[in-house]
Amino acid sequence: MSSIRNVLFIMCDQLRADHLACYGHPYLATPNIDRLAQRGMRLDRAFVQSGVCGPSRMSFYTGRYVSSHGATWNRVPLAAGEITLGEYLKDAQRRLALVGKTHMMPDHKGLERLRLDGDSELGALLREGHFALVDRYDGHHAEPHGGYANYLRQQGYHSEDPWTDFVISAQDEHGKIVSGWHMRNAHLPARVREADSETAYTADQAIRFIEKQNDEPWVLHLSLVKPHWPYMAPAPYHNRYTFDQCLPVRRHAVEREAPHPVTAAYHQQEECRNFMRDEVIRTVRPVYQGLIAQVDHHMGRLWEALEKLGRWQDTLIIFTADHGDFLGDHWLGEKELFYDTVQRVPYIVYDPSPEADGSRNTASDALIEAIDTVPTILDGLGLPLAEHRLEGRSLLALTRGAAGPWRDAVFSELDYSYREARLLLGRRPDACRGWMVRTAQWKYIHWQGDAAQLFDLTNDPDEFFDLGADPVFESVREAMRARLLEWFCRQRRRTTVSNQDVERGTHQYKKAGVFYGVW
């Protein structure tokens, strides 16, 4: 029997899989996260459902592909009709606590339509995706009235907007206060003390929450806003690494020669134009690594707190990220598009059950998707899985060595309609979508209104050579299109009745007093 009573679901924001020591980084030290991988199972081929925060997180929180939950980009709210992890838990009299970021956008129009835009408890839950807020903190923009800003002011950071003035600001060589929004300042230490920085504050909140639960079971989503931009670290993490301790930039001149139209449009966007420049890469990458080292440090504190409380015995832990960060790879900055740099994330599962002992300190090549997270958590807690809605699979089948046949492809989606790229390409807002099918060997990308892309990951693991137009590979593209079609066909659209309801209702019309076709 499973011994899981609690769940700690940790997400980093914009953390590339290759930026952890346990995933092979030769210089970046992440001993605490590595320790989790040693106690649990490291998933080496874990992929998100979209390479950008909002849709990726909605897939993490709903267990559904982006086409199914419909929140196709950061500014697209999750429809009020979609059911999130917190609601599944609530239906089982459990609570999903939140510390940190969710990127939940309230579906104001949908809630207004349902008269749930007022002060009702349900309206509040739906606005927050059924997270019970311990302390929501999304980062990446000023939140002057939030818990973190209040905390900072209490610590003596006197400002109406201490995040802007201290957390992402620095003092330059001339004593001038400069902003972390300008990447040229990333090498400077933030004006906030490390102990008061975002990562420290968020970890503190989580530790305090766990301590306060005593022996009551809990489910906590600890959602760190780092190492996401603004790239500005507090001392001593701002200069923890030098550029020669960073990974080589994964780019090739051939990628600039005749790029795919969508990639070419991204290349023209400001963040990509800047990340094509060596001085940007040289300035940002060491700080990005420093921010990760800082995250690792606070994970160590969290592990200690769990140890003290005896919680390693009964807590399922998931450590992952919502997507990666190009940092100049493929001549790109930021995220989106379908390269592994952005699509592949770290994913470590620590399953405390004795059944999982055989998988400790092992790694799996199984293809994992973000949508597996909700089924894993529900399964861990022994709660029913709404199979007619959930599109992922419990990973406890892997940790416990009982998986059977596993999927052989993962899928991701993009809607670039809100991006400058749409304007550069002259597209309508409903004609900007792309879909990725990725197997162990092949990555196929299907674009609305543009040619497909294809990469041979066995012979070109860096994804430099686009075979999308190469006639030699038409049969591969054809097979990948067949997979994409099959994927669309099995999406869960019938969400109002469960599979059990269908079973019970099959071939029962005569019981309802209807007798068609009788002679």
Ranges within 426-465 binding a second copy (CB under 8 A): 428-430, 433, 435, 446, 448
Residues with Cβ within 8 Å of 421's Cβ and at least 6 positions away in sequence, in order, are 262, 265, 266, 268, 269, 432
In the complex, the smallest distance separating the C-beta of residue 264 from a second copy, rounded to whole angstroms, is: 17
**307/387 with CB nearer a second copy:** 387
User: Out of 280, 292, 345, 356, which residue is the one contacting a second copy (CB under 8 A)?
Assistant: 280
**Best CA proximity match to 43, nearest among 16, 15, 23:** 23
User: Out of 1, 253, 472, 512, which residue is the one contacting a second copy (CB under 8 A)?
Assistant: 512
**158/182 with CB nearer a second copy:** 182
In the complex, the smallest distance separating the C-beta of residue 435 from a second copy, rounded to whole angstroms, is: 7
In the complex, the smallest distance separating the C-beta of residue 399 from a second copy, rounded to whole angstroms, is: 26
Residue 232 near residue 168 (C-beta atoms within 8 A): yes
Which amino acid makes up residue 418? Y
Q: Based on the shown chain and the rule CB under 8 A, indicate whether residue 490 belongs to the binding site for a second copy.
A: yes
Stretch that binds a second copy, among 273-281, 352-360, 366-374, 397-405 (CB under 8 A): 273-281
**What's the token pair of residue 265?**
């449009």
DSSP assignment letter at 264 = H
Taking residues 282 to 301 in sequence order and writing x for each that binds a second copy by CB under 8 A, - otherwise, the string is --------------------
In the complex, the smallest distance separating the C-beta of residue 105 from a second copy, rounded to whole angstroms, is: 8
Stretch that binds a second copy, among 65-73, 149-157, 202-210, 311-319 (CB under 8 A): 65-73
- H/E stretch holding 220 reads strand 219-227
Window 74-103: residues binding a second copy (CB under 8 A): 75-81
**206/374 with CB nearer a second copy:** 374
User: Out of 52, 59, 99, 107, which residue is the one contacting a second copy (CB under 8 A)?
Assistant: 107
Residue 104 to residues 54, 220, 287, 479, Cα–Cα distance (Å): 7, 16, 28, 36
Q: What distance in Å separates the CA atoms of residue 82 and residue 414, rounded to the nearest whole number?
A: 19
Q: What distance in Å separates the CA atoms of residue 477 and residue 341, rounded to the nearest whole number?
A: 22
**What's the token pair of residue 158?**
């006197």
Q: Based on the shown chain and the rule CB under 8 A, indicate whether residue 473 belongs to the binding site for a second copy.
A: no
**What's the token pair of residue 161?**
């907007």
Neighbouring C-alpha atoms within 13 Å toward the C-beta of 505:
7
In the complex, the smallest distance separating the C-beta of residue 361 from a second copy, rounded to whole angstroms, is: 36
Window 386-405: residues binding a second copy (CB under 8 A): 387-388
Q: Based on the shown chain and the rule CB under 8 A, indicate whether residue 337 belongs to the binding site for a second copy.
A: no
In the complex, the smallest distance separating the C-beta of residue 341 from a second copy, rounded to whole angstroms, is: 16
How many residues at the interface with a second copy, by CB under 8 A?
A: 85
Residue 115 near residue 96 (C-beta atoms within 8 A): no
Residue 348 near residue 247 (C-beta atoms within 8 A): no
The label of the residue with tokens 């400077």 reads 188
Residue 305 near residue 203 (C-beta atoms within 8 A): no
Q: Based on the shown chain and the rule CB under 8 A, indicate whether residue 208 belongs to the binding site for a second copy.
A: no
Residue 315 near residue 296 (C-beta atoms within 8 A): no
User: Out of 236, 382, 461, 505, which residue is the one contacting a second copy (CB under 8 A)?
Assistant: 505
User: Out of 209, 418, 464, 473, which residue is the one contacting a second copy (CB under 8 A)?
Assistant: 418
Residues with Cβ within 8 Å of 519's Cβ and at least 6 positions away in sequence, in order, are none
Query: 347-350 and 315-321 as β-strands: parallel, antiparallel, unpaired?
Result: antiparallel
Q: Based on the shown chain and the rule CB under 8 A, indicate whether residue 115 belongs to the binding site for a second copy.
A: yes
User: Out of 277, 313, 365, 470, which residue is the one contacting a second copy (CB under 8 A)?
Assistant: 277
Window 146-205: residues binding a second copy (CB under 8 A): 181-184
